[in-house]
Amino acid sequence: MDKNKLFETVESKADLLTALSDRIWEYAELSMMEHKSTAAYLQILRDEGFDVTENLCGIETAFSGAFGSGRPYIGILGEYDALSGLSQEPGITEQRPLIEGGCGQGCGHNLLGVASLGAAIAVKQAIEAGELSGTVIFYGCPGEEGCAGKTFMARDGMFRDLDAALCWHPGDVNEISTGSNAASIQVEYIFTGIAAHAAGNPQHGRSALDAAELMNVGVQFLREHMDPKCSVHYSFADAGGLSPNVVQPTAKLIYMVRGENVRKAKALLKRVDNIARGAALMTETEMTTRQIDGTSSTISNEVLEQLLYDNLCAVPLPTYTQRELTYAATLKTTYHTEGLPGNRTAENRQVRSFVAEKSDNGNAAVNDFIIPYVPSNYFNPGSSDVGDVSWLTPTAQFTAVTWPSGCPGHSWQIVSAGRTSFAHKGMLYAAKVLAASVSDLMTKPELLEKARAEFRISAAEGYDCPISKDLLPTIG
C-alpha cells in the first residue's frame, strides 16, 4: 500500500473535514448531549458508505461506522464533547466569550473526532480500491469530559472484538502518549439531616452541612496515609440553603478518587466511604452514596506506540504561514508556561536535550518537531476513558500539535485556537498518521500479532470495570 494515496485522500477531504470540525466547535455540546454533533457525523458516515450503528449501548450519542469485511478489525476512537463556561471567539488572542456562560471546545475534541473520521475515510477508500483488506471501525465516543463514555461502552461489550484500537489527542507537541494514566472513580455523597431554627431550637436539628464538612476534614487526614500514586479531589454540589439561621437539612459532595489501577482506586474509595459513614454517625444524619463514573488505568502497547511513532515521522509535518506563527506567538503571551514541552521529556536525558534545542528551551511558540519515542513507565496522575479500551484490545495514542506550546488544558486559549487554520493543519496531520498506522496493521499481520502478544501479557489480569453493572451515564 502506497501511503501517499492515503494522504491524498485526506487532502481531498480536507474541506469536508475542516467544515465538520468547525461545526462541532460551534455546537460545543456537553457530555451525552452531543445530538447535533452526532447527527453531523452520522450524515457523513452514511454519505461515505459506512455501515452505521446508532445508539451504541443504549447511549443516544454513541455510534459507530464500519467499512470492509473480515479481520483485522481496527478501531479508531473519536470524541466530540465540550466543556461548560469556555465559550470563546475563535482565532483571537484575548478572552472574549461568544456566548456569556456558554460552552466551548476547551479540550480540542472537535479536532479529535474529525481526524479519526478522516483516517477512517482514507482507509475505507483504500479498502474499496482493493489496496487494503480488513475492517475499519470509527467509534463515536460521547461524554469523555463529563462521564467517561468509553467506560460505559467498554462495560457493555464494545471494543472487545477489535484486533487493535488507535487514538490521538490534540496538544502542543507531536508525541507518543506512552506510560500509564491513573484509574479514577467519581462518587457523590448525599447527607440528609433535620432542619430547625439554628438559634430557637438547634437541639432538634441535625445538620447535613456539618456532616459534609466533617467528611472533608476526615479526608484531609486520610491524605497523609494514602499510596503516593493515589489522589482525592472533591467539590461541594450542595451546601444546604442560603440562610445561616437554619440547620441545613441537605448537603451533597462529589468526590473523585484516583489510584494507580482500578483495584487501588476501589480500595481507596472504601476508605473514603468509611469516612462518610463516620461523618453521618457523628452528626446523626443519613448518608447515601451514588457512583457517577469511573475510568481504568491505561496499559501502553509498545509495538503500537512504535508504529504510531514511525508514522508520525513518515507523514510530512505541517508548515505554517507567518500569520499562523504570529497568532500562536501572541496567544502564548496570554498564559504562563515554564519548563520544556512534552509530558515525558524530563525522563530521558537525550530526549531532554533534543527537545531543549528544538524548542529553544521551551521558548518557541510552536513545537514543530516530533519528540523521540522512548518507551517509559511514565505515570500520568490524570485519567482517561481510553484506559478502559486499552484493557480490552491493544491500544495506543499520540498527541499532535494543534495549539501553541504550553497552552493550558481546558482553557479559552484552546477554544480560540481550535477553529483556526493552525489547528486544522494538525488535525489533518493526525488523520494521516492514523490512516498510515491502520494501513500497516492491515498489511503486516506479524506486526499486529506482536502487538497482541504484548497485550496478552500486559492485560493478563483482565478488565476490572470501574463502574457498577447498572450505572447509567450522567447527562451534561
Nearest CA-CA partner of 185 in 298, 32, 292, 31? 292
Candidates 103-111, 199-207, 350-358, 466-474: pick the segment binding Zn ion (CB under 5 A). 103-111
Asked if 107 interacts with Zn ion (CB under 5 A), we say yes
Nearer to Zn ion, 154 or 442 (CB): 154
C-alpha span between 184 and 175 (Å, rounded): 24
Asked if 448 interacts with Zn ion (CB under 5 A), we say no
Cα-trace Rg, the chain: 23
Nearer to Zn ion, 207 or 384 (CB): 384
Candidates 105-113, 174-182, 224-232, 390-398: pick the segment binding Zn ion (CB under 5 A). 105-113
Nearer to Zn ion, 107 or 428 (CB): 107
DSSP 58-110: G-TT-EEEEEE-SS-EEEEEE----BTT----TT-SS---SSTT--B-TT-HH
How many alpha carbons lie under 13 Å from residue 139 in its C-beta half-sphere?
27
C-alpha span between 194 and 192 (Å, rounded): 7
Asked if 167 interacts with Zn ion (CB under 5 A), we say no
Candidates 102-110, 123-131, 239-247, 442-450: pick the segment binding Zn ion (CB under 5 A). 102-110
Smallest distance, Zn ion to C-beta of residue 128, A:
31
Nearer to Zn ion, 107 or 167 (CB): 107
Smallest distance, Zn ion to C-beta of residue 144, A:
6
Contacts of 178 (CB under 8 A, 6+ apart): 300, 302, 305, 344, 373, 374, 375, 376, 378
C-alpha span between 40 and 114 (Å, rounded): 11
Smallest distance, Zn ion to C-beta of residue 409, A:
6
Smallest distance, Zn ion to C-beta of residue 301, A:
20
Q: At what angle do helices 14-27 and 109-128 cross, to 10 degrees?
A: 150
CA 181 centroid distance within chain:
11
Nearer to Zn ion, 34 or 163 (CB): 34
Total binding residues toward Zn ion, as defined by CB under 5 A: 1
Candidates 104-112, 147-155, 262-270, 462-470: pick the segment binding Zn ion (CB under 5 A). 104-112
Candidates 22-30, 101-109, 189-197, 428-436: pick the segment binding Zn ion (CB under 5 A). 101-109
Which amino acid makes up residue 197? H
Nearer to Zn ion, 107 or 400 (CB): 107
Strands (E), 102-194: 135-140, 164-171, 175-176, 180-181, 183-192
Nearer to Zn ion, 107 or 111 (CB): 107
Candidates 100-108, 252-260, 315-323, 363-371: pick the segment binding Zn ion (CB under 5 A). 100-108
Smallest distance, Zn ion to C-beta of residue 476, A:
16
Nearest CA-CA partner of 417 in 165, 104, 52? 104
Residue, CB closest to Zn ion: 107
Residue for cell digits 530521558? 348
Smallest distance, Zn ion to C-beta of residue 112, A:
7
C-alpha cell at 142: 460521547
The single-letter DSSP state of residue 308 is H
Smallest distance, Zn ion to C-beta of residue 10, A:
22
Do the beta carbons of residue 272 and residue 255 sit within 8 Å? yes
Candidates 15-23, 107-115, 180-188, 371-379: pick the segment binding Zn ion (CB under 5 A). 107-115
Smallest distance, Zn ion to C-beta of residue 255, A:
19
Do the beta carbons of residue 157 and residue 388 sit within 8 Å? no
Contacts with Zn ion, residue ranges (CB under 5 A): 107
